[in-house]
Amino acid sequence: MFSPKLAPEIRGILEAVAAQGAPPLETLPIAEARKAAYGFMALAGEPEAVGRIEDRRIPVHSGEIGVRIYTPTGEGPFPGVVYMHGGGWAVCDLETHDTVCRAICRRAGAVVVAVDYRLSPEHGFPVALEDSEDATRWTVANAAALGIDPARLAVAGDSAGGNMSTVIAARAREAGGPAIALQVLVYPVTNLASHDTPSYKEFGEDHFLTATLMDWFISMFLSRPEDARNPHASPAFLEDLRGLPPALVLTAECDPLRDEGEAYARRMQAAGVPVTLTRYAGMIHPFLNFLGATAGAQRAVDEIAGAVRGMAPARTTGA
């Protein structure tokens, strides 16, 4: 049953998906699930032009991964964004989030480094996190060559990517660097140990991301059930949020993850972290990827771009 809170265009998308009668993602072999995730690229809209796009391979802790670097037109140094895509750590990639990254690059006037971290189940926790953290450090180390002002670097991501963005910020605080000026968390996963929230109860079925699908993602991502309470997998269990960089947290009203993302934002606020929290009415997980289908996604990218343009230099610097 679809919620009456849904925006009309989002309801139309869900009705069209239901009419297709495709099997649930969690019932498919992982290779087929990844192909199915590409189907939603039809909702991404026209890709925005940027100054330059480059695909590169970079070294990480146990091999190498790909990154895609989006550079705006004009003269740098520009603000920088390290972007981690969503997809439950198991699906999606640089292609599924290309339109989002282009839009952030163009509208913010920022260099965006999109991270092609390794996916589960082939690479479970903490590989994706370590890949993304290594990519952040690589970006800082190569800031001058990339045209990035290293004092104005954001970590950003949606869903699983939002999860890793805030964990990277926390780990950087613990390690004394690298300096991060802003964290952008779009409907972030913050608690892998529990679905006990009103938003899970209200939207845990029939609204694209379901409780069953989340359980499937979690089962592939975590090799040990006890890691669900590891604060580097579930940032809701970080005990001390003081000293984290300023945050922009975006949630979707009709998303089971809404309440855990908003609870995490309120905890950061209580710890003295400057936080902007915006709930997008009538939207679902993963509406940010629907730039061609809903004005909500357009507004969200504009809000992200504004936060990136306006971020103050990080308070500390580190390697």
Which residues have a catalytic role annotated? 159, 255, 285
By CB atoms closer than 10 A (0-12, 13-18, 19+), residue 26 is middle
Other CB atoms closer than 10 Å to residue 109's CB: what's the count?
Answer: 17
Place of tokens 């972290």: 273
Alpha-carbon distance of 218 to 130, in angstroms, equals: 17
User: 300 Cβ partners below 8 Å, 6+ apart?
Assistant: 186, 250, 278, 280, 287, 288
The strand order across the sheet containing 52-60 reads 52-60, 63-71, 111-116, 78-84, 148-158, 182-186, 247-252, 275-280
Alpha-carbon distance of 193 to 186, in angstroms, equals: 20
Measure Cα distances from 279 to 89, 130, 162 in Å.
24, 29, 15
Alpha-carbon distance of 163 to 190, in angstroms, equals: 6
Tokens of 63: 């091999």
C-alpha 250, offset from chain centre: 10
- Nearest CA to 304 among 317, 287, 284? 287
